């Protein structure tokens, strides 16, 4: 099994020029523009911030080939306005339409899952792999393992 460091090298993880902050509550990073999109939610996310993030996700997905992955980091999320759910659904729909292969979520407190599991059932088909972890380290190790031994479909 490869280490996390070799996994990050394989995915070409490096400081991201595509990093965007929407008032520091929703951040998007395209680590490798064609393979991995990182979405981070921080503190309290408003509907306006979620809308800006949805617009940016659509922009970032323009040149992405099917089979890409998403790492959704909710370690620092405190709350999200209920009106933001519509925009989160738009993000999920755009990802699925573009050929998302998997979503790896980091959610340290399961009580803070503010509907992501429910929305996933409506916007992601059964072909999209979804995994949720309490720590970023566990999430990265899982992603590294799946790179080492990709599924054969």
Per residue in 7-47, pLDDT (tens digit) is 444 444 333 434 444 444 555 555 565 588 899 888 889 99
Domain that holds residue 120: 4-147
Q: For 76, what's the count of Cα atoms within 13 Å in the CB-facing half-sphere?
A: 10
- Would you say 24 and 58 are in contact if contact means Cβ atoms under 8 Å apart? no
User: Which residue matches tokens 């064609």?
Assistant: 34
Confidence band of 151 (pLDDT split at 50, 70, 90): low
Q: Which residues pair with 133 in a beta bridge?
A: 106
Report yes or no on 65 lying in a domain.
yes
pLDDT, mean over the chain: 78
Residue 152 forms part of a structural domain:
no
The reply to whether 153 falls in a domain is no
10 Å Cβ neighbour count for 99? 14
CA angle 100, 106, 107 (to 5 degrees): 125
pLDDT recorded at residue 112: 73
């Amino acid at each position: 099994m490869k280490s996390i460091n070799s996994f990050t090298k394989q995915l070409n993880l490096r400081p991201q020029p595509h990093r965007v902050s929407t008032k520091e509550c929703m951040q998007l990073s395209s680590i490798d523009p064609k393979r991995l999109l990182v979405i981070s939610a921080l503190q309290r996310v408003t509907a306006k911030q979620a809308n800006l993030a949805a617009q940016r996700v659509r922009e970032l997905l323009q040149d992405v080939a099917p089979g890409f992955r998403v790492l959704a980091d909710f370690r620092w999320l405190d709350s999200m306005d209920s009106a933001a759910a519509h925009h989160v659904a738009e993000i999920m729909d755009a990802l699925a339409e573009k050929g998302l292969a998997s979503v790896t979520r980091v959610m340290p407190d399961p009580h803070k899952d503010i509907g992501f599991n429910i929305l996933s059932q409506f916007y992601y088909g059964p072909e999209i792999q979804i995994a949720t972890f309490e720590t970023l380290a566990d999430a990265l190790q899982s992603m590294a393992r799946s790179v080492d031994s990709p599924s054969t479909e």
